[in-house]
Chains A and B, each alone.
Chain A
Amino acid sequence: MSLIELKNVYKIYNEGRESQVNALDGVSLSIGKGEFVAIIGTSGSGKSTMMNILGCLDVPTRGDYLLDGQPVGEKSQRELSDLRSRRISFIFQGYNLIPSLKVWENVALPMTYQHIPLQERRERALEALQSVEILAKAENKPGQLSGGQQQRVAIARAIATRSPILMADEPTGALDSKTGAQVLELMRRLNAQGTTVILITHDNGIAAQADRTVRVMDGHIVHDSLWDGVLVPAEVRAS
């Protein structure tokens, strides 16, 4: 059984009006546990919509999304936020740390929503900061850190929650190549420890570091590296 499974998923904006946009136009995709997948596409290709749906931030207009074999579309808002809290971590291009909270508090914040006691929250947060080698900054505010450091804090936040899925949306987009490489290395390490990593990017070079690449264009999957060397019927390729 796949960890993540999209079955003929549509995401349509302004349906029925002239401005109708099919951001996802019948996408099917399955991702297994422990994979390191890059979803690659230009802006407007539908890759961000795909991430929003995979990350349970949005629901499909039509089609099914199964997470751990369970349909996400049938879940309530409360169950969705619980899913996000326990199953999925995010890393964004803009780091998305809360500026008014200290670094370790940012790392510990998701655990508050899992009702983990303060003492354990703090221990796990510091442990995660240690593993991304930024423990010295634990008491600082995010604004006092460099971009690369902030992204490492965001990764520490993902590590601390111990969620099995990590979604990264252009995680190196705002970083120079050296710190970008460090961030990618960290994600590799996480993947080696069993986390399923989904990397969304427009950069072929970064996508090449993943085990599997899925190319999205105009709301369709136009290429999946799994297809390489496998005989895929023409109508599947066309979908």
Chain B
Amino acid sequence: MNSLRMALDSITEKKGRSFLTMLGIIIGVTAVLVLVAMVTGYNSDMTAYYEKLGVNKVTVELSWYDTSRAFDMVMPLCEYGNGELSDMVEGVTPDLSTRLPVQYDGAAVDSTAVYLGSDQYAACSNYILESGRDILPQEIENRSMVCVLGSYVADTLFPYTDPIGKTVAIGGYPFLVVGTYYQKDGGAEDSMDHMAAVPYTVNRALLRSDRVDSITVKVNSTKNVDTVMFRLELWLAEQIDGAVGEYSLADGNSAMAESNDEMTSLSVVLGGIASIALLVGGIGIMNIMLVTVTERTREIGIKKSIGAPRWEIIGQFLLEAGILSSLGGLVGIALGFAPSFWVRPCMG
């Protein structure tokens, strides 16, 4: 008897038409949901990637006319970071890497990422020691041929035995395995676990160069990043003669912030496009309600003549449009959820 029942009656009376009316809203809502979900998923993917790389890093970029001078800065910078700045700095390591095969007993892991780091390389790059020990400071000084293997390399070369104490060949040079790292990125061939860390002082052998372009300083907390950068700036200005050398500082968090900004604008753009689909759906409902009003002028006339107030009649049409929109929205939400279940495994 009430408007709600009348609205439901007129919706169920013409099922086909009601469904077609809702279709626009269904597609619109589904599109918005799927697109926003995809962007959000990709965004959290990127955030996770940056977090694995390690946050709160300050990169000191160095350039000298004489390239070997930059290498000479590594040791003092390590000492400064671990000395005066030790309450804010977790580690300092040069950014040196190359891709070389790692071999053991006839087996080989090709193009392994070999990082030539300091004894604090693991802390700087978020690796955690699983077994054995890390590279020691004196091994850096002594140019010792020791290495710590990433989980992919260790698992591939030593499927049944303990790698600690074995000697592997990296780029043809013998290296003693002193430790292994925990898996941090899925452990597959294309992951960050396909790596080995060696003392940076073996650079002449592995890289055939003594060039260093940058040094990473890992800060213990985001709030300390600016202070550390300021202190480093002062220290570097004191150490480096501006006539022959240059330095610059970069905040690693800003790369992540940039990526976040990109994601935000991407989600606004895609969401906007999907909203147009939603808008078109809304216009569809508007259109069909207009037709319904024209069709039912007679019924409206009858109701007016028996004393129905204006809002009662308007209310009934609004209620009908509202029910159609909400039903369409609910179906759209259900349909929007469905793809997220098969998209998730696809995107990894």
Contacts and interface: CB of A to CB of B under 8 A. Distances in A.
A193 B320 CA distance: 41
A177 interface: no
A78 B1 contact: no
Interface in A64-120: 77-78, 81-86, 88-90, 92, 96-98, 100-101, 105, 108-110, 112-114, 118
Given A100-B6, A105-B1, A108-B1, A78 B309 contact: yes
A211 to B, nearest CB: 25
A88 B306 CA distance: 8
B204 interface: no
A168 to B, nearest CB: 12
Nearest to A79: B309
Instruction: Determine chain A's interface SS by DSSP, over half rule.
Output: helix
A84 B304 contact: yes
A87 B310 CA distance: 17
A147 to B, nearest CB: 16
A192 interface: no
Contacts of B307: 81-86, 88, 110, 113-114, 161
Interface residues of A, number: 29
B44 interface: no
A112 B312 CA distance: 10
A110 B308 CA distance: 7
Interface string A173-213: 00000000000000000000000000000000000000000
B3 to A, nearest CB: 9
Contacts of A84: 304-307
A118 B5 CA distance: 15
A41 interface: no
A84 B2 CA distance: 19
Given A57-B304, A108-B1, A100 B9 contact: yes
Contacts of A108: 1
B289 to A, nearest CB: 17
A81 B308 CA distance: 6
Contacts of B302: 96-98
B10 interface: yes
5 contacts: A85-B307, A92-B305, A101-B6, A112-B1, A113-B306
Interface of B: 1-2, 6, 9-10, 13, 298-299, 301-310, 312
The 3 A-B residue pairs with the shortest CB-CB distance, nearest first, are A85-B307, A110-B306, A84-B307
Given A81-B309, A98-B302, 18 more contacts: A55-B305, A77-B310, A78-B309, A82-B309, A84-B305, A84-B307, A85-B306, A85-B307, A89-B306, A96-B298, A96-B302, A98-B303, A100-B6, A101-B1, A110-B306, A112-B1, A113-B309, A118-B1
